[in-house]
Amino acid sequence: MQPSETLNKPKQGIKKKISGKKSRLQKTIGTTLWVLFLVFATFVGTIYGWISKSKVAVEIIKNINVPPKETFGKDSLNLLILGCDENLAPGGKKVLKAAGRADMILLTHLDFDRKTITGISIPRDTKTQLPGGPVHKLNAYHNLAKPSEADALQQQAVEQLTGVKVDKTIVIDYLAFQQLVDAVGGVKVNIKTAMKYTDVAGGLYIDFKPGPKTLDGYDAMCYVRFRKDKGGDFVRTERQRQFLIAFKSQIVKNWMNLPEIIEQGVKVLGSSVQAKEVAALATFAKSVPQTNITMTRMPTKRGKGSFEEIDESKAKKMFDNYGFNGREHEPKEPDQDSEATTKRAKEQQELKKLELG
């Protein structure tokens, strides 16, 4: 068992499309899915008023005060959040499959009583084997099935690997995310250090200079997916947190576009989430303090070739400690010396230093 595009835009005279195989980044936390999920949850939680032109908005307002426990019928929820590549024909001009391999994989646990959100990124190259089947990298399963069965097979693979029962799988729509950012008029950020990275195969072209910048949909996607921060995961987390704050501010400034914003926001989460569930998730996310939001990476060890392998004992301990397997599996006394607890405390300390600095 084991534990955590696309608008065309001219770049240097050439239009590039975010798609295809992404660069292998095996040792980083999958923060992009986390950001995409929280972007939507954050902005929906800020709009209790003005609705009219959006059927989804009407449904959200009707259910906005319904407790999430009542909506989902349980005290907590395990979500599998996926970001998937497009499969392209040679040359990258023709899409063969809209959602191929799972580019990023995130298990998220929502505890409605304790008001906590925990995201655990699972490396996509983790060695996985379903009963009676061959060995694959975890991200391959979404591409092995027919489109109508891809989400279910990927969920089955994650459950087999981690031992965690998934309640719902959500596939993030990258194109809708970019359209959502454009709908709010772009997002203003202050880039502290130069950001430069090119992935030709993936159509990812990043070249941001230090200073204030308004990100459109394409640039926003590049900004949240950038993983070459010199300060590592702590700097990356803070940068993406600042993006969330700026995004929320843009929603408030552009309230006249709320119907369009809401519709695009729902599209980000795909068709797997009903309007009343969206309302419940938004209400819950708005009530969770920042200190109760944790993001980490599932423990793995180096395997043969390009595989990573789950560190079963550490992974089980992590999933149990964070409540993924039910409260009956949680330690009776807080494990202050556990790797997960220590890492979480260190993350909070580093983020606080960044805020003060």
More confident position, 347 or 78: 78
CA atoms within 13 A on the CB side of 18: 23
Mean pLDDT over the full length of the chain:
75
Task: Flag whether pLDDT at 308 surpasses 60.
Answer: yes
Q: Which of 111-115, 206-210, 286-290, 345-349 is the least confident region?
A: 345-349
At 118, list the tokens: 């925990």
Task: Flag whether pLDDT at 192 surpasses 80.
Answer: yes
Report CA torsion sign: 140, 141, 144, 145. negative
Q: What is the pLDDT of residue 115?
A: 93
Which of these, 29, 35, 25, 23, lies nearest to 189 by C-alpha position? Answer: 35
pLDDT, average across residues 188-192: 92
Please list, in sequence order, all residues whose beta carbon lies within 8 angstroms of the beta carbon of residue 279, skipping any fewer than 6 positions away. 44, 59, 60, 61, 62, 63, 64, 66, 71
CA distance 4 to 123: 7
Spatial contact of 243 and 226, defined as CB atoms under 8 Å apart: no
pLDDT, average across residues 302-325: 93
Question: Model confidence over 77-130: pLDDT tens digits?
Answer: 999 988 766 543 334 433 333 445 667 788 999 999 999 999 898 888 899 999
Beta strand pairing status for 14-16 and 195-199? unpaired
CA distance 211 to 180: 24
Spatial contact of 178 and 7, defined as CB atoms under 8 Å apart: yes
Q: What is the pLDDT of residue 42?
A: 64
Quick check: pTM over 0.85?
no
CA distance 204 to 16: 8
Task: Flag whether pLDDT at 46 surpasses 60.
Answer: no
CA distance 79 to 100: 20
Q: What is the pLDDT of residue 148?
A: 82
Give the SS3 label for residue 227.
coil
CA distance 206 to 198: 6
CA distance 221 to 243: 11
CB atoms within 10 A of CB 46: 15
Q: Which of 121-130, 189-198, 290-299 is the least confident region?
A: 290-299
Task: Flag whether pLDDT at 157 surpasses 80.
Answer: yes
Please list, in sequence order, all residues whose beta carbon lies within 8 angstroms of the beta carbon of residue 321, skipping any fewer than 6 positions away. 330, 331, 335, 338, 340, 341
Q: What is the pLDDT of residue 165?
A: 96
Spatial contact of 288 and 116, defined as CB atoms under 8 Å apart: yes
Question: Model confidence over 225-254: pLDDT tens digits?
Answer: 787 777 655 566 677 777 877 887 787 787
- Beta strands (DSSP E) in 25-167 are 76-84, 87-88, 95-97, 102-111, 116-121, 127-129, 135-137
Beta strand pairing status for 300-302 and 87-88? unpaired
pLDDT class of 136 with cuts at 50, 70, 90: very high
What DSSP designation does 335 have? -
pLDDT, average across residues 138-157: 88
pLDDT, average across residues 135-146: 88
- At the top level of CATH, the class of 17-184+232-356 is alpha beta
Give the SS3 label for residue 41.
helix
